[in-house]
Structure 1
Amino acid sequence: MSPTNPYEGLRILVTGGCSGIGRATSARFLELGAHVAVLDLSPTGAPEGATVHVVDLGDRAATGTAVDAAAESLGGLDVVVNNAGVSAVGDVTANDDEEWARVLSVNVTAMARVTAAALPHLRRSAHAAVVNMSSIAATAGLQERVLYSATKGAVQAMTFAMATDHVREGVRVNCVNPGTVATEFVDRMVQNFPDPVAERAALDARQPTGRMVTPQEVAESVVFLASPLNSSTTGTSLAVDGGMSGLRTRPVD
Structure 2
Amino acid sequence: MNKDWQLLTFPELSELAQTRAQFHQAIQNVAAVGRSFLPHCADDENANLEWDFDLQRLVGRWIEADIKFRSSISLQKFEVYLVDQQFQTISSIAMQDKRQTDIMVWLEHELSRLGADFSKINLAYPYTIPEYPTAKKEPFHLNSQAAATELGKLYHNTAYLLKQIVSKEENGSEIKCWPHHFDIAARVTLLDTGDPETSRSINMGMSPGDKHYNEPYFYCSPWPYPTKKLIDLNDLNAHWHQDEWVGAVLPVSQLVDHNLIQDQRRIVMKFYDTALAFLKEVL
Q: Work out whether the TM-score is over 0.5.
A: no
**Structure richer in helix, relative to its length:** 1
**Structure richer in strand, relative to its length:** 2
TM-score w.r.t. length of structure 2: 0.29
TM-score w.r.t. length of structure 1: 0.32
Q: Is the radius of gyration larger for structure 1 or structure 2?
A: 2
